[in-house]
Every structure is written in C-alpha cells, then in structure tokens.
Amino acid sequence: MLQISPISDLRNYTEVLNEVDARGRVYLTRNGRGAYAIMTFEEAEELDRLKAAYAVVSEVKKSEERGHREGWVSSDEIRKEMGI
C-alpha cells in the first residue's frame, strides 16, 4: 500500500522506518509536494541493479543501431585487430 507522509513525520523517525519495513517505500512530502522516498537497503540495491542492467541494454541497442547504420565488423577483423 502506498504510504505518503509529510516530512514533519520524521520527528518520529522510528515509526516512519517501521512503515518502510512493513509496507515498502514511504514517500515524504514537503509543502504538499513529493520530495523524498525512504526504502529498504535491499530495495535500493535492487533498483541499482535494474538501473545498471537498463544502461547495458541501452548501450547494446545503440551499438546494434550503429552496426545497422555503419556496417558490422567481422570476427576475423576483430581477431586481426586484437592480434589473435
């Protein structure tokens, strides 16, 4: 369930952190607008892994598009360039 709280609730941060463990993220507002999100360390690590995977997939997609646009390099050319 989505938990949204004003940032002033951090005065009792233990209660807010208990909500993070029980419900997932807690979103904090400042002046009625979204400002921060508190999440567990495990969720932050998973988010970092997903962002890294997305970055890799994006680079592969760019490389494929460049290969289609500019032409591909053969494995023989790569071996020759690397001296294998």
Comparing 16 with 62, the larger pLDDT belongs to 62
Q: Does residue 40 have a pLDDT over 70?
A: yes
Range of the domain at 17: 3-39
Q: Does residue 64 have a pLDDT over 80?
A: yes
Assess whether 50 and 22 both reside in one domain. Answer: no
* Side chain identity, residue 25: R
Identify whether 51 is part of a domain. yes
Q: Is the pTM of this model over 0.95?
A: no
Identify whether 17 is part of a domain. yes
Residue 22's pLDDT is 61
User: What order do you get walking across the sheet with 33-38 strand by strand?
Assistant: 3-6, 26-30, 33-38
Identify whether 11 is part of a domain. yes
Residue 25's pLDDT is 85
Identify whether 77 is part of a domain. no
The H helix count followed by the E strand count for the chain is 3, 3
Identify whether 80 is part of a domain. no
Residue 23's pLDDT is 64
